[in-house]
Structure 1
Amino acid sequence: MDLLDSDACYRALQTRDARFDGRLFVAVTSTGIYCRPICPARTPKRENCRFFASAAASQEEGFRPCLRCRPETAPDLASWRGTSNTVSRALALIAEGALDGGEAGVDSLAERLGVGGRQLRRLFKQHLGATPVAVAQTRRVLFAKQLIQETRMPLAEVALASGFGSIRRFNETFQGLYQRPPGALRRKQAVETTASAVADAGVTLRLRYRPPYDWAAMLSYLSARAIQGVEQVSDTRYLRTASQDGAVGTVEVTHEPARNNLVVKIRFPRVQSLPAIVARVRRVFDVGADIEVIGEHLSKDPFLAPLVALRPGLRAPGAWDGFELAVRAILGQQVTVEAARKLAGKLVVLCGDAPMEGLPPGLSRAFPSPKRVVETDLGALGMPSARKASLKALAQAALADPLLFHPFGAVEEGIARLRSIRGVGEWTAQYIALRALRETDAFPASDVALLRSAATDAGERPSPEDLILRAEPWRPWRAYAAQHLWAADPGPRSRLQEVRHG
């Protein structure tokens, strides 16, 4: 298991070093409890401590979560350590429900990642100290505990939202793990409300991140690309519609910098969708990035070092939905970011449902599904016929393969799958991989702004091939290097993108 040596871990515990929060968990043999390294409880004796790389590993060894430091609120950093791309991508899929079916789903998950089931289990044991199923089960329990302590949802709704198959199983799990029923974990001042009241008022959760976090840069990036009617971005918040399985709701994200939290308010009619919605928020806002580790690696390059120092909290924004992002990428070929944003707004009106009532001001529609794009005449979009054909081809591919915008096999395989779609060239495929597939090493080297930012002092720009060679030392974080180069782009903010490959 990849972990710091025990002496270093114990020193981190003694000093309550916040830099290790989310990177290790401390299990105390004399109490049977595991904690975060920042736990305010009295420091246990060295001989009573065991150290684990994940909460799942701690629980698999029979330890129960601490009620004081609440491991469920630790920064979720395991998927961004960079030690195993396969494990990182598997964790992202697990967060979206890939193992809700239990052990039977491990082989299917492994196949999607291009490895064998035995190899995937071995990698999880090596890097996280737990099996894939144990990780999925721990996530489910800790998410349920967060809902119990941070919301007023009825316990039956909590069980449903966190993926438990029955109330009985939910109660048994909490009784066995916490030695008390779920209701006993609810804060005394929190009064349980009704399911309908929760749907109306929404559920508010806090997602912890490891600082620094450049919130202004994140909102600026999202604001420049916000689709009218679907998204709304102000100086302090991000708001959008969210659709899943035919249901539509809203998601609002604000920043709580004093506590290193993003505050997420979700209004959605189906509580079963909460884990998937939270996973999407984490993806869009890059909550799990261990930004210090990434910055330290990129700063080894003399060219990138001053850029990282200038924006130490810069994140790589993800995509809310893979199809939505891919559509926007095609719309943005050979036009400015602003022009692409307006085209996306037209597409939503053309292909989407009628404006919905009861949504916050500024929101009126959900982004259309692939089926709607396939069925709609795109003539009114006012763009070249070849690009309209590309949108149709993309929508047809998404209908044929619902997992098209999920990690699949090696990174190169995912890029190749995307490039097989008409109108998706190397830039578009790399951009989709960076933002939708969350490939931390994706790098759209032909991007004009990247080439402009990488120019010499004399103004000489490298070729895409030269930039790829230049970026080799930046692996496995080239996506973050790209974000720093984009932020440093000396040219116009609205940049031209690649020429479409047929």
Structure 2
Amino acid sequence: MKLPDKVVCYRALQSRDARFDGLIFVGVTSTGIYCRPVCPARTAKFENCRFFGSAAAAQVAGFRPCLRCRPETAPDMASWRGTSNTVSRALALIAEGALDGDAASVERLAERLGVGERQLRRLFLQHLGASPISVAQTRRVLFAKQLIHETRMSMGEVASAAGFGSTRRFNETFQVLFHRPPSALRRKSSTAPEAAKAGVTLRIRYRPPYDWESILKFFETRAIPGVEVVENNRYLRTVEVGGQSGSIAVWNIPERQSLGVTIRFPNVKSLPAIVARVRRQFDTGADIETIEAHLSSDPLLKPLVSRRRGLRAPGGWDGFELAIRAILGQQISVIAARGLAGRLVELHGKPVSKEYVGHAALTRVFPTAKRLATAPEVGLRVPGARQKALKAIAQAAVADPNLFSPFGTLEETVERLKTIRGVGEWTAHYIALRAIREMDAFPSSDIGLLRGAAALGEGSRPNVMSLLRQAESWRPWRAYAAQHLWAIDPVLMPTRRQSDKNPSD
């Protein structure tokens, strides 16, 4: 992303303009520290300020994170710069640990993204001012710093959770950056050990406004019995990562412009992946002001955007789970699909250990692709074609572990998904939107969208082609336009009723 000129950045720093939080970082040459633009410290002199588009670029330039404004708590805006889909997809993979571990490499990451290694490095330098490795290392340091400040985990657990190869490397990194051991960054009042069973609690910052009521209602309507619970203004669910299971609880902290999340999980190494999934599911990285300004340029959409400020595009916890839910939801109501998903969990879901759940109603994890692919039968009372589609998508996910990872363009993603039996245009776009987080995905044949567009235009219901023509001006954020159309009547979110079969079925 091309930064605003230095004068504009400095004015944002002087006024502590929250609109720039997460979009720019300032390195102060007189102190060697880099800060968020909202840092409460005294504003440095103009000639002592250098501005960067990412925390990684600031660290590469030799600056260390501020202990006061804590750059690790800035909104994670890098994937919403609107400059490079490849970089956005790469950042999503890095957040889930694609460059952690001895076997990880930029070359393998580039292969997953369908680009050359040199091309990926060039794009990172162009848009973030740092290499993929530097970005991964900075994320590691900042996540470790957040764990030190916000939890009571031991330093060994912090090092492991943040992806450091050893405690020694962890200590050395912090000594070089902060000229002190990592334990010295922790307040003395936070020295009591924290048990994984009791949970690790963190904050995930977002850019306001955030329509928490709408996103919570979305998940409540679709909550799978045994897997998800929404109560007391919180979302809880079971999770499985790497063959181990636990649970999360998520709630809103509007006064801190953050979501709170408590993670109960037996393996601290899975924390970064779990946090990344929570960010994705609750769409905390959206540059919502930019999106709403763009959609408001359409006179028909503008009243909807004004009515529901901060409306997000909910994601799915897991790509395979979301795909199964999409198949189950074809041609039936949301309530009926929820019942079928609950029955599927009863038949094939693995019980979750009670010591790592925070609610008695959380009993099982959603079945894995392998479990469903190898099951003798699905066991649901659904048409035979639907059962074959469920099996087909499970087998495809087993054959390609990266099936629901970002790869290529939206069009390529849709075409790749449509090769799976039972996945047509609507289902492919729905999976791309919720699971792969393609923010320009648009399931145009959805009846809810067509009815919403009809209400928007105060005329007869448009056909798919006319809706697509209208939606051209909503790019590259058609997914958010879809949320606003569905929100005209929440009962319709989403309610596709037409056939969604492949021509080959």
Shorter-chain TM-score above 0.5: yes
Match of 2:86 in 1: 86
Give a deviation string over 1:376-399, Cα, whole Å, max 9, x none: 244631110000000000000000
Shift of 1:308: 0.6
Which residue in the other structure is 2:223 paired with?
226
Q: How many correspondences in the alignment?
A: 499
The CA distance in 2 between the partners of 1:356 and 1:390, in whole Å, is 31
Partner SS, residue 97 of structure 2: coil
Compute the displacement of 1:354 (Å). 4.5
1:311 match: 308
Q: Matched residues in 2 for 1:28 and 1:103: separation? A: 36
Cα separation, 2, equivalents of 1:217 and 1:378: 37
The residue aligned with 1:446 is 445
The correspondence of residues 226-305 of structure 1 with structure 2, limited to 5 A, is 226-305=223-302
Give secondary structure in 1 for the equivalent of 2:190: coil
Structure 2: tracts of 5 or more residues without a match? none
Q: Please report how far the alpha carbon of residue 500 of structure 1 lies from its aligned counterpart in structure 2 after TM superposition.
A: 2.4
Q: Which residue of 1 aligns with 2:431?
A: 432
Query: Is the Cα–Cα contact under 8 Å of residues 211 and 291 in structure 1 kept in the other structure?
Result: yes
Residues 1:476 and 2:470 are matched in the alignment: no
Distance 1:243 1:327 in 2: 16
TM-score by length of 2: 0.96
Specify the alignment match of 1:199 in structure 2. 196
Compared CA separation, residues 68 and 483, structure 1 to 2 (3 A): same
Instruction: For residues 263-288 of structure 1, give each alpha carbon's deviation from its aligned partner in whole angstroms, at most 9, with x where no partner exists.
Output: 00000000000000000100100011
Tell me the residue number matched to 2:406. Answer: 407
1:327 corresponds in structure 2 to 324
Tell me if the contact between 1:452 and 1:491 (Cα under 8 Å) persists in the aligned partners. no
TM-score normalised according to structure 1 size: 0.97
Determine if the alignment matches structure 1 residue 120 to structure 2 residue 120: yes
CA drift of 1:90 comes to: 1.0
SS in 1 for 2:105: helix
SS at match of 2:430: helix
Distance (whole Å) between structure 2 residues aligned to residue 5 and residue 357 of structure 1: 54
Report the RMSD for the aligned CA atoms in angstroms.
1.5
Detail structure 1 runs of 4+ shifted over 2 Å in the superposition. Answer: 101-104, 353-359, 375-380, 456-459, 489-498
How big is each residue's C-alpha offset from its partner over 1:9-43, in whole Å with a ceiling of 9 and x where there is no partner?
A: 00000111111111100000111110001111111
Structure 1, residues 97-146: CA drift from partner, whole Å, max 9, x if none? 11114796212222222222112111111111111111111000000000
Aligned-partner Cα distance in 2 for 1:75–1:52:
15
Q: Which amino acid in 1 is paired with 2:373?
A: V
Q: Distance in 1 between matches of 2:433 and 2:328?
A: 17
Q: Which amino acid aligns with 1:76?
A: D
Q: Is contact 1:329-1:432 (8 Å) kept?
A: yes
The whole-number CA distance in structure 2 between the counterparts of 1:473 and 1:101 is: 43
Q: Which amino acid aligns with 2:436?
A: L
Match of 1:65? 65
Q: More displaced, 227-236 or 110-119?
A: 110-119
Give, in angstroms, the shift of residue 494 of structure 1.
Answer: 7.0
Matched residue of 1:134: which SS? helix
For residue 99 of structure 1, what is the aligned residue in structure 2?
A: 99
Contact 2:327 2:390 in 1 (8 A): yes
SS of the residue aligned with 1:343? helix
Q: Distance in 1 between matches of 2:302 and 2:316?
A: 27
Does 1:396 find its partner at 2:395?
A: yes
1:142-161 mapped onto 2 (5 Å cutoff): 142-161=142-161
Where do residues 299-378 of structure 1 align in structure 2 (5 Å cutoff)?
299-354=296-351, 356-358=353-355, 359=357, 360-378=359-377
CA 1:465/1:275 → structure 2, altered by over 3 Å: closer, same or farther?
Answer: same
Displacement of 1:192 after TM fit? 3.8
Change (3 A) 1:390 1:104: closer
**How far 1:357 sits from its partner (Å)?**
3.6
Question: In the alignment, what sits opposite 1:211?
Answer: 208
Distance 1:229 1:45, change over 3 A: same
The CA distance in 1 between the partners of 2:336 and 2:67, in whole Å, is 51
SS of the equivalent of 2:16 reads: coil
**Does the Cα contact within 8 Å between 2:486 and 2:494 map onto a contact in 1?**
no
Contact 1:143 1:162 in 2 (8 A): yes
1:398-430 deviation line (CA, Å, top 9, x unaligned): 000000010112222211111100000010000
CA offset digits 1:190-234 (Å, max 9, x no partner) = 1141xxx52121100001111000000010001111100000012
What is the alpha-carbon distance in structure 1 between the residues aligned to residue 23 and residue 490 of structure 2?
A: 37
Match of 2:131?
A: 131
